[in-house]
Structure 1
Amino acid sequence: MPRTASRLVRAAAASLAVALALTGCAATTPAEPAASTETDAAVEHADLSLQLRFIANAQFAGSYMAQENGHYDDEDLTVSMTPGGVGIAIDPLVAQGTADIGISSAANVAMARAEGADLKIIGAGYQHSATVVMSLPENPIETLAELKGRKLGAVSSNFAMVIAFLEANGIAEDEVELVSIQGDAAPLLSGQVDAMMTIATSQPLVLEAQGIEPVLIPMAENNFDELDFTYIVTERTLADPAKRAAVVRFLRAEIAGWNDALADPEAAADLAVDVYGKDNGLDRAQQVAQATAQVSLFQTDDDAPGIFWLSDAGMERTLATLDKRGIDADESLFDTSILTEVYGG
């Protein structure tokens, strides 16, 4: 079923309802990680580098909060954050040791592993796919079947994923005309395409700010769901006791930062606009909308101890979606031991 946004806050609430309906759970108060069991004498200060997967903006608000609210300091960590961007591949940077921790996607990690990279997913911010098919209210595409014979815009590097998504829903590649776009909504607004693939926390909010109520068809509701915004490290890091301990402390601090950001999206957006992304020309209203809308993506199954959790159901649907994309992966893609320790399991 498509969703038509009418207000930014209502859009966020609708996203939350979708995520909860998919998992059959209810929203819960964010859980705090277990306190460290290490004595002060046993904890060694660690310097860690975190590679973000895009330019500095509200998408990474939890990391900013962890820094600014002293959560990294509480764990005796110094964490340097490096923004990503177009053309920056996160997985090789982590695999090569340029970054200790990265934020990537399950698909990219699985493909890197297939090529020999010793990467593991140790947590996931987004519990469901944020990708949607977006169309305009004056030319709405309300079901995937209505894409047949229409022009669908997507970034060319995502064509294989889009084709797999269509085929998973009974639509052959030659039944839809794929058009390469840059990712913004201009081709949709100009009529160059009838619909476009985008992220729910991105272009739909841009249109909403212009008074346009886009029609959205979520991938997560249509046979193509997966964990995303995944935190990755190397197996080498996990095998090193000192480095592993530092990663446990990092995730504990990161979770605390994200709990802060999810509880106060406006403060999170302010850090993105005024501090970390101050040179990126960010619009505060859009950043508040993004920080608010992504709250629903962090909602976990009701039996999860807290955010970032790698549930059995989440891992299973991720592997099923990767299989539909022709990406070879199994349970070894994930390492749940870090979060188990973080939450005192």
Structure 2
Amino acid sequence: MTPTRSNLRRLAAGAAVAVGALLLSACAGGTASGPTETSAENGAESGDLGELTVQLSWILNEEWSGELIADAEGYFTDAGLTSVQLVPGPSSGVPELLSGTADLSLTDALSVGAAVANEGAPLKVIGATFQKNPFTIASLADGADITTPEDMIGKKIGVQDSNRAVFEAFLAANDIETSEVDIVPVQYDPAPLTTGEVDGLIAFVTSQSVAIELQGIEVTDLLFADNGLPFVGHVITATDEMIATRRDALKAFLEAEVRGWTDAVADPSVGAQLAVDEYGTDLGLQIESSTASATAQAELLVVSDETAANGLFTISDDLQEQTLASLATSGYELTAADLFDLSLLDEVYEANPALVDAQR
């Protein structure tokens, strides 16, 4: 189910407030806070599989609704884990995995693919929360109105440092040289677009674009996924060593994740409420905007016809090939075996077929 632009406007009530809060808190980092007592109460006698530390790519807001629900409802402990520590970003997660300070990361496929291709990093993607990456070039409908990649030529495009690589990959995918666009360094605040400092802005379709429209300003979105750069997002990534030595713990994590995100899709307000009231209390989040973002995220990015058929976090052969092709446009030549190991998720669903049925 994909919402139209008018759907996103309705989902966006209060989104501008949330974006402002995120911008102020983006580099706060720190460790996760949350209802650990609740998790202990709800969890069955467990702990045989030990603890896991999970590095998130972004701050601890509703973007991680499924993880927050899995923790609060005791799904991690039900699955046999002692505890799961959710460490907020921003971070690609790759350094933490390679240094051993994190057991798992939730990050973007391009960062993982680049590390595997360039450094021979022993990493594998074992599942993906987002079936479609959220990147877009947002522009004003009554301004530059960028509807095709070629429309970017000669325009000022606001690009955050952390998104420079993905933007260059987007240009390469569309045979556009970096010299053909005017790249303007910006932060995550959408203000440079609304004030006319830039003609277009790298944004998340479920975040900044929605926030701008809340101001009564119509946005044109040029989605990377629909314009030459499709790849999975929020990929669950582990080292080869973790897969070999703690396979059962990783499978327990995946099982709990599926349960958490099934709940998050069924009622996005649950994860939003947890983010506002429990886990992101230092971020100044607002329930209306967090719910809007969580709803748009669930509908646009998390579910698809393929997840309905095969289960959340699955990555079809076609989507694997699309992701690899997007990596190849940046010079990262990999095979599916180099980047993906979906055997753990297959085993989880084989042992728990009701998990797929619960998503329908």
Category of TM-score, reference length = shorter chain: 0.7 to 0.9
Change over 3 Å in CA distance of 1:327–1:318 after alignment to 2: same
| Aligned equivalent of 1:49 | 53
Change over 3 Å in CA distance of 1:104–1:308 after alignment to 2: same
- 1:4 positional shift: 7.8
| Aligned equivalent of 1:261 | 264
- 1:11 positional shift: 6.8
Report the Cα distance in structure 2 between the residues aligned to 1:151 and 1:9, rounded to whole angstroms.
26
Which stretch has the larger CA shift, 115-124 or 59-68?
115-124
Match of 2:286 among 266, 283, 287: 283
Is 1:338 equivalent to 2:344 in the alignment? yes
Is 1:104 equivalent to 2:83 in the alignment? no
Aligned residues: 313
Superposed, 1:135-214 pairs within 5 Å as 135-139=139-143, 140-214=145-219
Is 1:68 equivalent to 2:75 in the alignment? no
Report the Cα distance in structure 2 between the residues aligned to 1:336 and 1:55, rounded to whole angstroms.
27
- 1:300 positional shift: 3.5
Report the Cα distance in structure 2 between the residues aligned to 1:99 and 1:167, rounded to whole angstroms.
32
Change over 3 Å in CA distance of 1:67–1:305 after alignment to 2: same
- 1:161 positional shift: 2.8
Report the Cα distance in structure 1 between the residues aligned to 2:177 and 2:220, rounded to whole angstroms.
22
| Aligned equivalent of 1:247 | 250
Cα distance per residue 1:176-221 (max 9 Å; x no partner) = 2111111221111111101111111210121133232211111111
Change over 3 Å in CA distance of 1:274–1:43 after alignment to 2: closer
Report the Cα distance in structure 2 between the residues aligned to 1:236 and 1:129, rounded to whole angstroms.
28
Report the Cα distance in structure 1 between the residues aligned to 2:112 and 2:165, rounded to whole angstroms.
16
- 1:5 positional shift: 2.9
| Aligned equivalent of 2:81 | 77
Higher relative contact order (CA 8 A, sep 6+): 1
- 1:236 positional shift: 0.7
Match of 2:326 among 321, 329, 337: 321
Report the Cα distance in structure 2 between the residues aligned to 1:46 and 1:9, rounded to whole angstroms.
43
- 1:43 positional shift: 8.4
Report the Cα distance in structure 1 between the residues aligned to 2:317 and 2:168, rounded to whole angstroms.
27
Report the Cα distance in structure 1 between the residues aligned to 2:305 and 2:321, rounded to whole angstroms.
14
Aligned partner letter, 1:324:
T
Query: Where in structure 2 are there 5+ consecutive unaligned residues?
Result: 13-43, 352-360
Q: Is the 8 A contact 1:9 1:292 kept in 2?
A: no
TM-score by length of 1: 0.84
Change over 3 Å in CA distance of 1:158–1:293 after alignment to 2: same
Aligned partner letter, 2:239:
T
Aligned partner letter, 2:332:
I
- 1:81 positional shift: 2.6
Please give the root-mean-square deviation of Cα atoms over the aligned residues, in Å.
Answer: 2.3
Which stretch has the larger CA shift, 229-238 or 67-76?
67-76
Report the Cα distance in structure 1 between the residues aligned to 2:214 and 2:154, rounded to whole angstroms.
30
| Aligned equivalent of 2:6 | 6
- 1:8 positional shift: 2.9
- 1:55 positional shift: 0.9
- 1:42 positional shift: 11
Report the Cα distance in structure 1 between the residues aligned to 2:45 and 2:66, rounded to whole angstroms.
28
Match of 1:134 among 111, 135, 138: 138
TM-score by length of 2: 0.81
